[in-house]
Structure 1
């Protein structure tokens, strides 16, 4: 049982048996690579890795000052790996079975106010083709609550603007339909009709909505830089990312009285508990209103 063979089989298992997306597979492989580095450093073969060795491994990893969330994610990957060994290699004992994940305190996501979103979008220079594209990007990002990967992979063939819907491919290659508002539709059409038609599109990129000036799909990093530049332009003090627009989309819907199940469907959350965090944001908002305006506060 050598690492190269096991790693290859593990990747195949994640792809075919678990049906995971490429990003998730890479994350699991990175977890196992860390374990492999530790095992080779201590001259341990895979069958020699015990629960005690895994505990020592987690202590070793913690020396690199990784966050509690990263530790929990790493442990999840390691548990999946040993579960795979039980299934595919008939390994009797699972040394990861009794390991407990570190307790994670749920951190409230950063949320922009409607005024801050308006300021960011208003700061875009619409005199350039890139500015018209960026306007459409932010309108779609906030108007549909997309993950940045979903935005980068958005296809023209999945735009149903006449009926005000788009189809996106989320985590685990799961597709979902999301309503798209008139403002996002307006600027998306302007971009498609007046900017994108003049871009020399690279082969295999014809169906992607958002392209760079060379005709390739935009990367996640590029979206982040667009938002970072706009944030600096208006002097915004909050640390924001593309995901902040997704959080703001959900928070503003919940504040407005939207049904939590509907928000869950639009965000593509598997569990309603993930969506419920936005009810806590709403409670914080209500508390601040009481503190600010109630005469007995």
Structure 2
């Protein structure tokens, strides 16, 4: 206890820093104003209850700063996540987070629609070869066989048409020779129209005859039932009509050429066909070669 009847501050340091005698406390001011007498019991008890209030010191100020720092540090510790405070305790939480991340990566995500960037159109000029259209290949022209046996090209082409039509029917070689020899005798291997049938002249022809209504390579008559005029003017049809009639004759293969031809044509000159046999044979061999 000091001389002014107050209790010494047990928390204050000795020396000038622990005292503050020059500054009267609020309690002392109140006591002096109230009375000039010695300090009362009330003043003494107040000093015992709150000695720091009566005279603040540097120790009290330092203690307050330390307390504030402690509170801030405690609050900071509370704010930290549990895995920062205790690595061992935080391990399950970290494992759970990793599993959630893996699960979310495995989930299907909505497709992302990307706006395609229009590609730049090349402006290079087309090459000359690219602009040229491919020309269609020309159809192969039928092979022209050089005439033989004193025939001209028109006669040779007609003989070729006879052989071609017979091969379509699958007749033997002897039937082809008979057909060519018959056409040599009947039309000299020219496709005839008839002056009696003006209609026959509307179709391709190479000559005009006047033997009744006979037309074509084999001088077949529409009035005798060989067919229509337009058909008999076609070398292929006329040949097939002749060969079909030849194949109906029994044993035609064993007959002489002139007899086989006469059996089909029923001509007024039945022996005339024999003279063309050797020439017809040479023409057919040239075509089949």
Same fold (TM over 0.5): no
Q: Higher Cα Rg: structure 1 or 2?
A: 2
Q: Tell me which interval the TM-score lies in, with the shorter structure as reference length.
A: under 0.3
Greater RCO, CA 8 A, separation 6+: 1
TM-score, length basis structure 1: 0.17
